[in-house]
Amino acid sequence: PIEDGKAEIYDGATFHVYEEGRLTRKVEYVHGVLHLGFDVYVQEPERTAAQLEALGIDLGRLREAEWKGRPAWVVGAAAGDETTPQFWVEKERLLCTRVVWKRPTGVLDVEMGRFEPLGEGFIAAELVFKRDGRPVVREDYASFRLVDRMDPALFDTATLKTSGPLP
């Protein structure tokens, strides 16, 4: 619940972590899932390339593969390599279905699936986060929608909004 004051706000380069409504830490972070799941469609290709290179992905390495029964492209790693930073794109719909990168805590492998139509595109309604091959977090979204406007106070990293209507 928002009233508990626990939150994480990601501003594109830093996670701002709050406990009891107070900022407790800031962590610089390149978020592969957000960049490949959303930002890639609206930002300059050079910015996306820089973000992917910051994750350690070799953009010069490309191969074909299959992911969950669908033809895919894999960027960044050779066949059978499950730990080198890489991302997978479903060929037919050009949707990112998997991102692998290294973190101080181990290899993070995020599988995106159950794509649902949203606006003129799709959204991954299911995400499975694995650390060193073991599932650690699963996100299942039962409902989602586009909104015309969100209160900028929700993303103000200097303060955390802990009451009032959410979109």
Phi-psi group of 69: left, alpha or beta (phi > 0 → left; psi -120 to 50 → alpha; rest → beta): left
CB 55 within 8 A of CB 32: yes
Beta-carbon contacts of residue 29 (< 8 Å; ≥ 6 apart)? 10, 13, 14, 15
| CA–CA distance, 95 with 116 (Å, rounded to integer) | 11
100 by Cβ neighbours in 10 Å (0-12 / 13-18 / 19+) ranks as buried
Per-residue pLDDT of the chain (167 residues; tens, 9 = 90+): 667 888 888 887 888 888 888 889 998 888 899 889 888 888 899 999 999 999 999 999 999 999 999 999 999 999 999 999 999 999 999 999 999 999 888 999 999 999 999 888 889 999 999 999 999 999 999 988 888 887 777 777 777 766 655 55
pLDDT for residue 6: 85
